[in-house]
């Protein structure tokens, strides 16, 4: 399958067959349930004067999976995954966004649940836009972020405002918000447009309707995830994050999922990349429970 506007994923011939990554298909989506796509761009981060590096996120997460995640776990069977590769950035932010939407739409048309790895958080907007355009009813958003990301200005801090304004998203539920990192203007806009802060726990019933779920790694404490544009001095522990992501995978109304803002050049230790890989595995482990076999 040729997905538009992407650099196809590398062949997996050199991946250890004992790793889950070795089972991913990079050519044929038939028989797969999940379509992974890399959003390897951080133009939006630079526009918001953040620390660049997230363009390397998709590569780093895949590299982490080369050494983490067994192919045959003891109590579940992984879903089949098609890796479409990375979307090629355009000459402008708008062109890149249009490419992300078109590439994601191709995965949806192939019957896959799209999962994105990024990349600046602005790319959640065009990624989810493709899903919104494919569904008959409005989407509801659940996201994990230290920031509301509802800026009016173009850049990585605007995805959820755009999804409300342009894609008909009716509710936003944010978890892990840092009250010291969000302005009154953004907080008021969020509340006026169906936004709620920490309204439920992972084991609770999730909001009604079709959902998108977005995970910004800056919700995690900088001690565990320093490789992000905006480090969090008082964020979540990894186990908290893993509970949420696993629950998102389990929820059959979650129509897409992304992990954003992984910036490997800002963390030479590689622990941020390995943690991002763990979270992706947790989502897929939860997803496996939707399709027992």
CATH number at residue 23: 3.40.800.10
pLDDT of residue 70: 98
Query: Does the residue 151 lie in any domain?
Result: no
Report which of 101, 102, 105 is spatially closest to residue 122, judged by C-alpha positions: 101
Q: Which pLDDT belongs to residue 2?
A: 86
Tell me what pLDDT residue 199 has.
Answer: 83
Tell me if 47 is assigned to some domain. yes
Strands 81-87 and 34-39: parallel
Question: Quick check: is 161 in a domain?
Answer: no
Convert the pLDDT of each residue in 212-227 to its tens digit.
999 999 999 999 999 9
Residue 249 counted as domain residue = yes
- State the residue range of the domain holding 131: 6-136+214-288
Q: Is position 180 within any domain?
A: no
Can you read off the two tokens belonging to residue 48? 């918001």
* Strands 140-144 vs 171-175: parallel, antiparallel or unpaired: parallel
b (16+ CB within 10 A) / e for 138-177: ebbbbbbbbbbbbbeebbbbbbbbbbbeebebebbbbbbb
148 part of a folded domain: no
The pTM of this model reads 0.97
Determine the Cα angle at 8 with ends 134 and 123, to 5°. 50
Report in angstroms the alpha-carbon separations of 46 from 22, 82, 120, 231.
34, 30, 9, 15
Q: Over its length of 293 residues, how does the chain's per-residue pLDDT go in tens digits?
A: 889 999 999 888 889 999 999 999 999 999 999 999 999 999 999 999 999 999 999 999 999 999 999 999 999 999 999 999 999 999 999 999 999 999 999 999 999 999 999 999 999 999 999 999 999 999 999 999 999 999 999 999 999 999 999 999 999 999 999 999 999 999 999 999 989 998 899 999 999 999 999 999 999 999 999 999 999 999 999 999 999 999 999 999 999 999 999 999 999 999 999 999 999 999 999 999 996 54
Split into its structural domains, the chain has a count of 1
What ranges in 135-237 are assigned the alpha helix state H?
159-167, 184-192
Task: Tell me if 194 is assigned to some domain.
Answer: no
Asked whether residue 77 is domain-assigned, the answer is yes
């Amino acid at each position: 399958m040729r997905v538009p506007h992407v650099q196809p994923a590398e062949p997996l011939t050199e991946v250890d067959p004992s790793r889950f990554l070795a089972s991913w298909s990079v050519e044929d989506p038939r028989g797969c349930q999940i379509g992974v796509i890399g959003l390897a761009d951080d133009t939006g981060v630079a526009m918001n004067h953040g620390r660049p590096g997230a363009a390397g996120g998709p590569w780093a997460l895949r590299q982490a999976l080369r050494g983490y995640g067994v192919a045959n776990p003891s109590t579940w069977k992984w879903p089949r995954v098609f890796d479409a590769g990375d979307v090629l950035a355009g000459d402008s932010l708008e062109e890149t966004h249009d490419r992300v939407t078109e590439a994601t739409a191709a995965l949806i048309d192939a019957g896959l649940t799209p999962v994105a790895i990024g990349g600046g958080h602005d790319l959640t907007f065009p990624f989810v836009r493709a899903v919104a355009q494919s569904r008959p009813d409005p989407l509801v958003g659940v996201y994990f972020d230290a920031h509301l990301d509802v800026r009016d200005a173009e850049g990585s801090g605007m995805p959820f405002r755009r999804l409300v304004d342009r894609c008909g998203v009716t509710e936003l539920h944010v978890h892990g918000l840092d009250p010291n990192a969000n302005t009154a203007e953004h907080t008021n806009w969020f509340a006026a447009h169906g936004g709620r802060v920490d309204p439920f726990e992972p084991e609770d019933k999730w909001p009604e309707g079709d959902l998108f779920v977005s995970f910004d790694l800056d919700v995690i404490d900088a001690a565990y995830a320093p490789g992000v544009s905006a480090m969090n001095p008082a964020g979540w522990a990894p186990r908290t994050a893993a509970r949420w992501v696993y629950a998102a995978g389990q929820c059959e109304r979650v129509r897409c999922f992304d992990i954003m803002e992984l910036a490997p050049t800002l963390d030479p230790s590689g622990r941020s990349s390995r943690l991002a890989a763990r979270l992706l595995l947790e989502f897929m482990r939860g997803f496996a429970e939707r399709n027992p076999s």
